[in-house]
């Protein structure tokens, strides 16, 4: 595990209103998320958890309001913001025809870092997936795919801001705990995590967790 400190800025939401299909999901939402915080978003299906996460990484335009990374809007310097962000949507962005290693190497490159296959293998090994490293994604189970997608978080050069949409879905008990401790490690070294999840988690009552119900 890479324990070097990450330099995170503050993530700030300023009176965000989100409309989807003519319906207001949430209104006038303001939040300030300091480095070292896990933002834990809870809510019913369709309450706007995924939309909020997509707004945080700038994939979804807001109806009104702004998201700031440090002092600037996230749209002010997209290249810089994107290079400090890792976003995992509710579908693991993996190519069924490629192996786990090939997927990780490509995703790391899209994230702005050229890594070797050895780096990718190390990340998979830490996630307990070394035996699946050279198998094509098509042959893996849902949970294994999710764990491979999450192995991106263990690549070298960790990003400051992790935005994870339902990362605990399809994970078994052991992988669930491993991910929770990974999230704790990340905020302890100064990063920010924003997750949505409808399960209750052991970290929920921790001092670093900031809860938001939509």
Partner 1 sequence: MSHSASTLSIFTGIIRHDLQLALRRKSDSLSALIFFAVVASLFPLGIGPETNRLMQIAPGMLWIAALLAAMLSLHKIFAEDFLDGSLDQVLLTKLPLSLAVLAKTIAHWISSGLLLALLSPILALQFNLPIESVGVLFLSLLLGTPLLSLIGSIGAGLTLASRGGGTLLSLIILPLVAPVLIFGAGAVEAYQAGLGFTAHFSLLGAMLAIALFLAPLATAASLRIALE
User: H or E element: which one contains 195?
Assistant: strand 192-196
Q: How far is the CB of 85 from partner 1 (least distance, A)?
A: 6
* For partner 1, the closer CB: 59 or 202: 59
* For partner 1, the closer CB: 83 or 177: 83
Distances (CA, A) of 157 to 5, 35, 53, 108, 160: 10, 17, 22, 10, 9
75 within 8 A of 58, measured Cβ to Cβ: yes
What tokens were used for 69? 């990374």
Q: How far is the CB of 206 from partner 1 (least distance, A)?
A: 28
Distances (CA, A) of 85 to 18, 163, 174: 21, 8, 26
Q: How far is the CB of 111 from partner 1 (least distance, A)?
A: 7
Distances (CA, A) of 179 to 73, 77, 83, 94: 30, 30, 22, 19
Q: How far is the CB of 7 from partner 1 (least distance, A)?
A: 15
* For partner 1, the closer CB: 28 or 97: 97
Q: How far is the CB of 203 from partner 1 (least distance, A)?
A: 25
9 within 8 A of 33, measured Cβ to Cβ: no
Instruction: Read off the DSSP letter of residue 48.
Output: S
* For partner 1, the closer CB: 33 or 57: 57
| Residue ranges that bind partner 1, judged by CB under 8 A | 57-61, 78-80, 82-83, 85, 87, 89-98, 102, 106-116, 119, 155-157
* For partner 1, the closer CB: 84 or 212: 84
Which residues make beta-bridge pairs with 212? 41
């Amino acid at each position: 595990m890479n324990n070097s400190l990450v330099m995170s800025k503050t993530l700030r939401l300023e009176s965000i209103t989100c409309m989807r299909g003519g319906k207001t999901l949430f209104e006038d939402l303001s939040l300030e998320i300091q480095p070292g915080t896990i933002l834990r978003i809870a809510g019913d299906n369709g309450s706007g958890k995924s939309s909020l996460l997509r707004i945080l990484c700038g994939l979804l335009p807001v109806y009104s309001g702004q998201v700031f990374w440090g002092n600037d809007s996230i749209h002010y310097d997209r290249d810089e913001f994107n290079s400090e962000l890792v976003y995992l949507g509710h579908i693991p962005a993996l190519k069924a025809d490629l192996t786990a290693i090939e997927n990780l190497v490509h995703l790391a490159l899209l994230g702005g870092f050229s890594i070797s296959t050895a780096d990718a293998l190390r990340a998979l090994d830490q996630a307990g997936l070394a035996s699946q490293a050279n198998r094509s994604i098509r042959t893996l189970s849902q949970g294994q795919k999710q764990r491979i997608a999450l192995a991106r978080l263990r690549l070298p050069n960790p990003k400051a801001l992790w935005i994870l949409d339902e990362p605990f879905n399809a994970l078994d008990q052991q992988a669930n705990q491993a991910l929770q401790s990974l999230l704790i490690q990340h905020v302890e070294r100064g990063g920010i995590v924003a997750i949505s999840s409808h399960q209750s988690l052991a970290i929920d009552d921790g001092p670093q967790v900031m809860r938001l119900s939509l």
